[in-house]
Amino acid sequence: MGIEDAARRIAAAGPSPARVARDPVNRPAIRDWLAAIGDDNPVYERDGVAPPAMIQVWTMPGLPGLHDPADPLRAMSGVLDEAGFTSVVATDCAQTYHRYLREGETVAVRGRLTDVTGPKRTALGEGWFVTTDSTWTVDGEPVAEMRFRVLKFRPGTARPAPPPSAPIRPVTSPDTAFFWDGVAAGELRVQRCGDCGALRHPPGPACPWCGALKPEYAVASGGGRIHSYVVHHHPPLPGRRSPVVVALVDLDEGVRMVGELLGVRPDDVRIGAQVRAEFAAGLPAWRPAGQRVLPAWELAVTPTVVVSTALATRDFQDVHHDRDAAVRRGGKDIFLNILTTTGLVQRYVTDWAGPSAVLGGIAIRLGAPCYPGDTLTFTGSACGGEVSVSGRTAAGEHVAGTVRVAS
């Protein structure tokens, strides 16, 4: 039977029977998880509730050999294993929390196969994307949901990764040096005619209104509105992840300026929206007015971080604790598991939002694997109740995601 036929058969079987967690939600497991993630939010201990990002932990199958044969992801993985797609890496996880779990509650999970797509050529190798939906319940009450996607790939078929490229740097000239000096100083400088006082951008030697060759500059407030924009998808830009939104902004001072628009998904860009200038990485860029920027957080990823978090999330896949096995399966070393990355994203946001924050959901997409020796740097921005998070290593973006903060 072909892979697609097997996928249709497993998907048609619908949700698996409910699998009940081995243990009720309990404080020792919560404490191990908090210690491994490094999360010192006091709310869990105080209120006797579990961190929401632990939802998957409670129903993890445990050591290999204890797998539930009725689990649709397990069934589909078996089909792909037989076809030679024996390696696995998680790529996407979107969790919705209806409420936090309380100590003593016993959860059950049902999963169903929703999509199998392939074969695709990926950076890791030729493989199939397998998507499942899961629902957790307590006494029949839905408490959380998850869409989960893995890539099952054939080891040894990886494309060599292109070397990381640096963003293109601006070229300065005598006419534009004042502008880039301003960017370095955190100022948005606009050229002003020393004779008639008219503002102009882009800079040039002569005033287009009076012809005077007497350039000076004014410091703009940094506020403006989106006049127009484009979304760049292809070709790839050095040092950037597509898509990139580039906006043409009407400054409050009356001139127009181009720059990258940060912190907004392409679908959410609105003509006329208010923006503020920001000076990230030596380039002027724009961000929606009122958006708050989270302080960056750097995590030194050690073997202990990788192994302790894998065990605290009850993920016993060998690639997260056994270096030889990880290399045999096509990795460089052991690497962080997706349950941990979800937990680190939760910690980053609640460290910033404070103990009273209640999370409604976490959705992440994984990119470059995170290995021991990496420094994982989280950055984020918040608009309303939604926080966008990015976690990067020297090799590129490890995780991009959004967190919904309910209160």
How far, in whole angstroms, is CA 216 from its chain's centroid? 43
Residue 207 is a binding residue for Zn ion (CB under 5 A) = yes
Smallest distance from Zn ion to CB 191, Å: 10
Residue 195 is a binding residue for Zn ion (CB under 5 A) = yes
Smallest distance from Zn ion to CB 273, Å: 32
Residue 76 is a binding residue for Zn ion (CB under 5 A) = no
Smallest distance from Zn ion to CB 217, Å: 13
Listed ranges 100-108, 204-212, 276-284, 376-384: which one lies at the site for Zn ion (CB under 5 A): 204-212
Smallest distance from Zn ion to CB 278, Å: 30
Smallest distance from Zn ion to CB 206, Å: 8
Residue 128 one-letter amino acid = W
Listed ranges 16-24, 83-91, 198-206, 368-376: which one lies at the site for Zn ion (CB under 5 A): 198-206
Listed ranges 73-81, 195-203, 284-292, 376-384: which one lies at the site for Zn ion (CB under 5 A): 195-203
Tokens representing 346 are: 């939760």
The dihedral through the CA atoms of 203, 206, 212, 213 has a sign that is: positive
In this complex, which beta carbon is closest to Zn ion, that of residue 198 or of residue 283?
198
Residues 6+ apart with CB under 8 A from 67: 61, 74
Residue 247 is a binding residue for Zn ion (CB under 5 A) = no
Smallest distance from Zn ion to CB 216, Å: 10
Residues 6+ apart with CB under 8 A from 20: 59, 106, 107, 108
Radius of gyration for the chain, computed over Cα atoms and rounded to the nearest angstrom: 25
Smallest distance from Zn ion to CB 182, Å: 20
Q: Which helix (H) or strand (E) holds 238?
A: none
Smallest distance from Zn ion to CB 207, Å: 3
Residue 196 is a binding residue for Zn ion (CB under 5 A) = yes
Q: Which helix (H) or strand (E) holds 99?
A: none
Residue 190 is a binding residue for Zn ion (CB under 5 A) = no
In this complex, which beta carbon is closest to Zn ion, that of residue 168 or of residue 196?
196
The count of other CB atoms within 10 Å of the CB of residue 84 is 13
In this complex, which beta carbon is closest to Zn ion, that of residue 209 or of residue 355?
209
Listed ranges 10-18, 193-201, 315-323, 335-343: which one lies at the site for Zn ion (CB under 5 A): 193-201
At 324, give phi and psi (nearest 5°): -60, -45
How many residues lie near Zn ion (CB under 5 A)?
A: 8
Are the CB atoms for 333 and 372 separated by under 8 Å?
A: yes
Smallest distance from Zn ion to CB 213, Å: 10
Are the CB atoms for 3 and 128 separated by under 8 Å?
A: yes
Residue 193 is a binding residue for Zn ion (CB under 5 A) = yes
Residue 266 one-letter amino acid = P
Smallest distance from Zn ion to CB 122, Å: 56
In this complex, which beta carbon is closest to Zn ion, that of residue 92 or of residue 195?
195
In this complex, which beta carbon is closest to Zn ion, that of residue 20 or of residue 210?
210
In this complex, which beta carbon is closest to Zn ion, that of residue 60 or of residue 198?
198
Residue 168 is a binding residue for Zn ion (CB under 5 A) = no
Residue 230 is a binding residue for Zn ion (CB under 5 A) = no
- The three-class DSSP label of residue 95 is strand
In this complex, which beta carbon is closest to Zn ion, that of residue 14 or of residue 204?
204
Residue 212 is a binding residue for Zn ion (CB under 5 A) = yes
Smallest distance from Zn ion to CB 195, Å: 5
Residue 210 is a binding residue for Zn ion (CB under 5 A) = yes
In this complex, which beta carbon is closest to Zn ion, that of residue 168 or of residue 210?
210
In this complex, which beta carbon is closest to Zn ion, that of residue 49 or of residue 193?
193
- Binding footprint of Zn ion on the chain (CB under 5 A): 193, 195-196, 198, 207, 209-210, 212
